[in-house]
C-alpha cells in the first residue's frame, strides 16, 4: 500500500530557535501512523538544528529550494549535496512563489528536479495554474506544459512527487473544491501514465496544495487521486498541522 504524505512548507517563517521549539512540540504530540509520512520544510537556517531533533523519528526533513549546479561561484545558493549531508530527504522544486517572485522557469525547475533526484533525494515538483489561466480554461494546457517541461529528460518516476498547487489558492484562504482538485489530479495521473507508464501512475504521489486547513483536509483526502497535501500557512501552527496530519 502506498503511504500518503503530509508536508509542511514553512516558507520564510520561523527562526532556528522558533523552529526547534515547534519541532520539539510536534515530536511530543504527533501520533504514530503506518499509512502516512510527515515532512517539514523549514527555511535553510533551521535545517541543521531541526535535522538533529528529527533523528530517530518518523518525521522527514525537506528543503524549500536547491540550486542545480554541483558547486561553484553561485553566491547565495545552496547545493543538493549540502542539503543531503544535513539530512534533507525531499526538496520542493518550482513552488509558485519561486516561479512568480524569483522568475524560475520550467527549464530551471527541470534542472533542479534532476539534480535533486540524482543526489538521492525526492523532488516535490509543484505545478499549478493562475486564476486568469483557469478562467480562460487553460488549466489542463498549463499543467501539461509544466509537467512535460519540468520532467524533460527524466525517464522514470523514482524519487518524484508532484504537487498540484493552483496559484489562486495559495495563501489566499480560497482552496480548490475537492472536486476541482480531483479533476486535475486525475489529469496529472493520466499524463504520468502517458509519459512513464501505468505502474508509475499508480505508484507516484500527487499532492494537493492551496489553503489546506483543518476544515477541508478530510474531504480533500477522501478524493481518490489525492495522495497527500502540501500545506503552507496551516503548517505553522501546531494545532492546525496536527489536525491536518490526523486526517480521517
Ligand atoms: C504552499 O506554500 O505550498 C501553500 C499551499 O500555502 P498555503 O497552504 O498557505 O496556501
Helix (H) or strand (E) holding 8: strand 4-9
**pLDDT confidence of residue 172:** 87
Number of domains in the chain: 1
Question: Rounded to the nearest 5°, which phi and psi values hold at 216?
Answer: -115, -5
Q: What is the DSSP string of 79-94?
A: BHHHHHHTT--EEEES
**pLDDT confidence of residue 174:** 83
The three cell numbers of residue 87 are: 539530512
pTM comes to: 0.98
Nearest CA to ligand 1 atom 3: 232
Q: What is the pLDDT of residues 137-165, one digit of tens each?
A: 999 999 999 999 999 999 999 999 999 99
CA 124/CA 113 separation, integer angstroms: 8
Averaged pLDDT, 9-13:
98
The CB of 139 under 6 Å from ligand 1? The reply is: no
CATH number at residue 121: 3.20.20.70
CA of 95 to the centre of ligand 1 (A): 9
Catalytic residue among 104, 129, 165, 182: 165
Atom of ligand 1 lying closest to residue 97 CA: 2
CA 96/CA 146 separation, integer angstroms: 11
**pLDDT confidence of residue 1:** 82
- Residue 185 is a catalytic residue: no
Domain, as residue range, for 232:
4-245
Cβ contacts of 216 within 8 Å, gap of 6 or more: 175, 178
Q: What is the pLDDT of residues 162-221, one digit of tens each?
A: 999 999 999 888 888 999 999 999 999 999 999 999 999 999 999 999 999 999 999 999
CA 72/CA 87 separation, integer angstroms: 22
Q: What percent of the chain is modeled with pLDDT above 70?
A: 100
Amino acid at each position: 500500500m502506498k503511504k500518503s504524505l503530509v508536508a509542511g512548507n514553512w516558507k520564510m517563517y520561523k527562526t532556528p530557535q522558533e523552529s526547534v521549539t515547534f519541532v520539539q512540540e510536534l515530536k511530543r504530540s504527533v501520533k504514530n501512523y503506518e499509512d502516512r509520512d510527515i515532512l517539514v520544510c523549514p527555511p535553510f537556517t533551521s535545517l541543521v538544528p531541526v535535522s538533529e531533533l528529527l533523528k530517530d523519528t518518523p518525521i522527514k526533513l525537506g528543503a524549500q529550494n536547491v540550486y542545480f549546479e554541483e558547486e561553484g561561484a553561485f553566491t547565495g545558493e545552496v547545493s543538493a549535496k549540502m542539503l543531503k549531508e544535513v539530512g534533507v530527504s525531499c526538496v520542493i522544486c518550482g513552488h509558485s512563489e519561486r516561479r512568480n517572485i524569483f522568475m524560475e522557469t520550467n527549464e530551471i525547475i527541470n534542472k533542479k528536479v534532476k539534480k535533486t533526484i540524482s543526489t538521492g533525494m525526492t523532488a516535490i515538483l509543484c505545478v499549478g495554474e493562475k486564476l486568469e489561466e483557469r478562467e480562460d480554461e487553460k488549466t489542463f494546457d498549463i499543467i501539461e506544459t509544466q509537467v512535460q517541461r519540468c520532467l524533460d529528460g527524466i525517464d522514470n518516476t523514482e524519487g518524484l512527487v508532484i504537487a498540484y498547487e493552483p496559484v489562486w489558492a495559495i495563501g489566499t484562504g480560497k482552496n480548490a473544491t475537492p472536486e476541482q482538485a480531483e479533476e486535475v489530479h486525475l489529469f496529472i495521473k493520466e499524463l504520468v501514465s502517458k509519459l512513464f507508464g501505468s505502474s508509475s501512475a499508480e505508484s507516484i504521489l500527487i499532492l494537493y496544495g492551496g489553503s489546506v486547513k483543518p476544515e477541508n483536509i478530510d474531504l480533500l483526502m477522501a478524493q481518490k487521486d489525492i495522495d497527500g497535501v502540501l500545506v503552507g500557512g496551516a503548517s505553522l501552527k501546531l494545532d492546525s498541522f496536527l489536525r491536518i496530519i490526523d486526517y480521517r
